[in-house]
Amino acid sequence: MQKSISSQKIREKLSFLKTKLPKQPTAANSLYSLPAEFAENVVRSNYSQVSLQKISDHIGYYLGLLKSVKITFIEEFTDNRWVGTSDGILVGDRTGSPISGLYKIIGFDRSGILLIKKHKYDLKHILAILTHEYTHNYLYHHRISESEESENEILTDLATAYLGLGHLLIPGYKPITWTSNHWNYVFASGYTTHTLSIGYLTPNTIRKAIIISAEIRNWDPEEVIANFSSVWDKIIAYFQLWPYKNRLRKIEREKRKDAIFMKKRVEQINSLKVDVNNIHKVYNQVCKLIKSISTTMDTSSITAEDGRMFVEITNKIFIGEPISEIKSILEKIDSLKTSSINNENIPQLVKQVDELKKMISKWYELLCKYSNNCGTSANSG
């Protein structure tokens, strides 16, 4: 009989799987997609073992397991009851319920899956059974199991959802209903209704596990919704995924905000570097002018105030103060490019560059008063 378990227990089991499995537990971090032609080929070939083996291998590749698991398929034309006690039974218990699937370890490194098609089963049921049993193989490969059999089967169903295969379980786990044995009494008549279901967890529980797994595995919610086969499941998933979608939107907004911030930051840094390089060019011209003026100009024509400025400029150039400051600013600008997102240093650098620019521009203007060698190319911008 299928069980329904709480969201809290689902989260506990999925968290357990997350800690035990690799960070990316499957070959692709997206939900499994069964090629349509694979499913069509199963029906077209009347459930041939070759067609089922192809699906099994395809699931294995998705899960990152390259070693093939041998598929054995039996079609049961009567509804006889099978009794089994081996691990990996998909449908069945110790009271003797019908077995529909069985995972077996064969020797040291070989394993097999037995699929039994009951007379009321169709493709969706076989796919659900195969998916569950292959998940047994996956968990065995990763040495993950529960000590108690029923808990191990619950873990396997939840692992199927966590691994991105859960949407194959839901259609197959929905109850199969049919009628037989027409009866007729004095005041009423009808048929006997029979119901059969496979799987250990209810379809609703599997759906909840898929929704919770979407957040844990960072799946695209639109892809998760699209993978449900029924419209009703899609609608429920849409609303259940709404909080997760909102969180993703918030994260996306923050990313866009950070991207705009970083773009402005890069523009500021590049602009600063252009300014400093222009200042450096003007400074080089200042050095040439001061040298030229000192050897060719009549010092008697220099005013007292300009003379003091000439001395200040000469002293600062001699001790290398401006060029040291230029190099220091350029180093700080380069460090900003590799540092974390922090805009605190930029205003301080802008102020420092502006002050240096004013000082060098003032020097240049002063020297140009006493030289005929000034050109427009020396403009610091």
The pLDDT, as a whole number, for residue 375 is 62
Per-residue pLDDT of 268-285, as tens digits, reads 888 888 999 999 999 998
For the stretch 106-142, what's the b/e string if a residue is b when 16 or more beta carbons lie within 10 angstroms of its beta carbon?
eeeeebbbbbbbbeebeebbbbbbbbbbbbbbbbeeb
Beta bridge partners of 106: 110
Tokens representing residue 262 in the block:
């970083």
The pLDDT, as a whole number, for residue 89 is 42
The pLDDT, as a whole number, for residue 243 is 92
* Residue 5 clears pLDDT 60, i.e. is over it: yes
The pLDDT, as a whole number, for residue 340 is 54
Per-residue pLDDT of 244-273, as tens digits, reads 999 988 988 898 988 888 888 888 888 888
Contact indicator for 7, 208 with CB cutoff of 8 Å: yes
Contact indicator for 172, 125 with CB cutoff of 8 Å: yes
Tell me the backbone φ, ψ of residue 2, rounded to 5 degrees: -65, 150
Per-residue pLDDT of 18-72, as tens digits, reads 999 999 999 988 999 999 999 999 999 999 999 999 999 999 999 999 999 999 9
The pLDDT, as a whole number, for residue 98 is 56
Strands 110-117 and 70-75: parallel
Per-residue pLDDT of 205-222, as tens digits, reads 999 999 999 999 999 999
* Structure confidence at residue 317 as a pLDDT band (50, 70, 90): confident
Contact indicator for 81, 94 with CB cutoff of 8 Å: no
* Structure confidence at residue 236 as a pLDDT band (50, 70, 90): very high
pTM over 0.85, yes/no: no
Give the position of tokens 């222009």. 278
End-to-end CA distance of the chain, in Å?
81
Give the architecture-level CATH label for domain 252-378: Up-down Bundle (1.20)
Amino acid 353 reads: V
CB-based contacts of 68, cutoff 8 Å, min separation 6: 53, 56, 57, 60
**Least confident range of 75-89, 178-192, 356-370:** 75-89
From residue 86, alpha-carbon distances to 93, 101, 103, 162 in Å are 10, 11, 8, 24
Domain boundaries, the chain: 7-183+203-215, 252-378
